[in-house]
Amino acid sequence: MYIEHHDLDPYPIPKEKSPLYINEPWLVDGSIIRDLGDNKEPEPQEDNIRVYVPLDLNRKAILRRLDDIIMRYDEANEENESDFMFEVERLISQIEIYDQVWFVRHMPEDRKHSAEAKLLVKDFIAALEEIPDGCAETFPFELIEDLRREYFPN
């Protein structure tokens, strides 16, 4: 896993609470990925209507989504490991956007990650560590280590 930095232009990111539009609909619903394929731009059909679905990115909402995923899968095992990881990685993309916005708003001293994202990732890792191990090979172990390396390198 690598930490993806979404293509956000920092200058239009509002300092106040106002909508931020990101053309990455797969962040909301994984089934959209199958429809999009490699093309993540709006479909060229004349009758296409692109609808932006609100997605609140805040600490509580992201952790609630993680809890929901963990409850649905119950444990990480060989059968569900790939799907489980895919859904959790979607949340990590949400964390990365959250981090980028807070970074622009507060410009942290270390110039790497926002304090808000670090707090969120700390709780995110704690929840991942509580996932029962049903003999999964890599998930969530490698993901936990990747997050620690990225957000807490010391």
Paired sense of beta strands 76-77 and 133-134, if any? parallel
Model confidence at 144, in pLDDT bands (50, 70, 90)?
very high
pTM comes to 0.78
Q: List pLDDT tens digits, range 27-42.
A: 766 544 445 455 556 6
Q: List pLDDT tens digits, range 99-141.
A: 988 888 887 777 789 999 999 999 999 999 999 999 999 999 9
Torsion of CA 134, 59, 57, 6, to 10 degrees: -70
Q: In angstroms, rounded to a whole number, what is the distance separating the alpha carbons of residues 150 and 144?
A: 10
Q: In angstroms, rounded to a whole number, what is the distance separating the alpha carbons of residues 129 and 109?
A: 29
Q: What is the mean pLDDT of the chain?
A: 81
Say if residue 140 is preceded by a cis peptide, omega within 30 of 0. yes
State percent of the chain over pLDDT 70: 71
As a 3-state breakdown, the chain gives helix, strand, coil percent values, each rounded to 5, of: 50, 5, 45
| Structural domain boundaries in the chain | 25-151
Show Cβ contacts of residue 25 under 8 Å, excluding neighbours closer than 6 positions.
32, 36, 40, 53
pLDDT of residue 100: 87
